Amino acid sequence: MQRRFIKPTPGSRLFDIFNHLFMVLLCLAMIYPIFYLAMLSLTASDVPLTKGYLIPPHVSLENYAQVMSNHYIGYGFVNAVRRTLVGTAFSVAMMLLTAYPLSKKYFPGRRFWTGFVVFTMFFSGGMIPTYLTNSQVLGLDGSFWVLILPGLINTYNMLIARNFFMGLPEELTESGRIDGAGELRILLALILPVSLPIIATLALWSAVSHWNAWFDSMLYFSDPKQQVLQLVLRRIVLEGSDDMMNLGSAADEMTTVNPETIKAATTMVATIPIVLVYPFVQKYFVKGMVVGSLKG
């Protein structure tokens, strides 16, 4: 006779209670900022902000209307979506193509090439040389591709993909080779179908970092219509913050600063699209765990 569950002792019950309590607190700590921001973005303009209401007495969508009427939000949104889609597709493809050979023990010079790539994780050229290389040497200044090409391969993510490939049974490759498949065929027909979890992971990471990036857009583009959404957001949110006002001259006295509610609404508008991606990718994460556990 086997009992499925061990009878809970008072100690383990106490442990469970605290466990749940901490989990709820942890969840609250993450949900509250989003909730706060959402409420702030719905606050009507006649509500004093220094009072700190949990739920605003007057709710309105006027902030969202104003955000949507912002001249650059539309351009920024289109640019950000374009960059995220194109950038993610190219990045994932290149990372897989780099990671797969590096995962093979028979790849000539494997150690050297891995070291070569890892080197870039620890040493970078610095901002100005990078900028000059991209804009002058590669001639990417002002081109859409400057957002995509320099960061095509994220070394860390690529190494994770490589480790994933190394974990796949060698027999999989051998079975393909027996049937006469070449390396590319093996990668496309055999390896990729079982690698969906790592592809989803790379895609998500890559998409999120593309969506959040703004610094490169600021450096390489001078036309405001080419800027990405996060840069537009950053400008709106930084308005009226102390360090910017200190730069100020007489002109700052007559500056119309967007109120906090507009900033909150802008943040929501810029954040929600990328958050919506998560549910679609999540099932692959679950699968990834299952796949991992089946290997023996």
Partner 1 sequence: MKRLVCLLLTFIILLGVMQLTALAEEERITITIMRDYIAPPEADGEILKYMCDKYNVNFEIIYIERGNWNESISTKFAKGEIGDIIDVKGLDLLYTYVEQGLLAELPPDFLKENAPFLYNEYVKEDETHALRYTTIDGKNYGIPNITGNNFHNVIAWRGDWLTKLGFDKAPETLEEMEEALYAIVQQDPDGNGINDTYGIGETGMEMVYGAYGYLPELWQDRDGMLVYGAVQPETKQALTKLAQWYQDGIIDPEFVTGENQGGYYAISHSFNNNRIGLTCLGAYYHWKPVFYPGDSKSEVYLELQKANPEALETIMYGTPVTGPEGKSGMEGSAVINAASTVGFGIQLQEDPERFAKVLQVYDAMSSTYENYIESIFGIRGVHWDYDETTGFPGLINGNDSKSVARLGIVSGFECNEYTYLRAKPRIDWAYEKKLDVGVLSNQLLVPLASAADYQDELDKLRDETFTKIIRGDLPVDAFDDFVAEWYRLGGQQLTDEANEWYATLEK
Nearer to partner 1, 161 or 262 (CB): 262
Among 54, 55, 251, 276, binds partner 1 (CB under 8 A): 251
3-state secondary structure of 145: helix
Query: Is residue 249 part of the contact set for partner 1 (CB under 8 A)?
Result: yes
Task: Please identify, using beta-carbon distances, which residue of 201 and 261 lies nearer to partner 1.
Answer: 261
Provide the minimum distance between the beta carbon of 274 and partner 1 in the complex, in angstroms, as a whole number.
22
Strand residues in the chain grouped as ranges (E): none
- Which of 2, 11, 29, 50 forms a contact with partner 1 (CB under 8 A)? 50
Tokens of 294: 């089946």
**Residue 171 within binding range of partner 1, rule CB under 8 A:** no
139: helix, strand or coil: coil
CA distance linking residue 134 with residue 112, whole number of Å: 26
In this structure, the chain runs to a length of: 296
128 binding partner 1? (CB under 8 A) = yes
In angstroms and rounded to an integer, the radius of gyration of the C-alpha atoms of the chain is 25
User: How many Cβ atoms are within 10 Å of 195's Cβ, its own excluded?
Assistant: 22
CB of 37 or CB of 89, closer to partner 1: 37
Mask 223-242, x = binds partner 1 (CB under 8 A)? xxx-x------xx--xxxxx
CB closer to partner 1, 195 vs 258: 258
Which region among 27-35, 90-98, 135-143, 281-289 touches partner 1 (by CB under 8 A)? 135-143
Residues that bind partner 1 (CB under 8 A): 46-52, 71, 127-128, 131-132, 135-136, 141, 215, 218-219, 222-225, 227, 234-235, 238-251, 253-257, 259-260
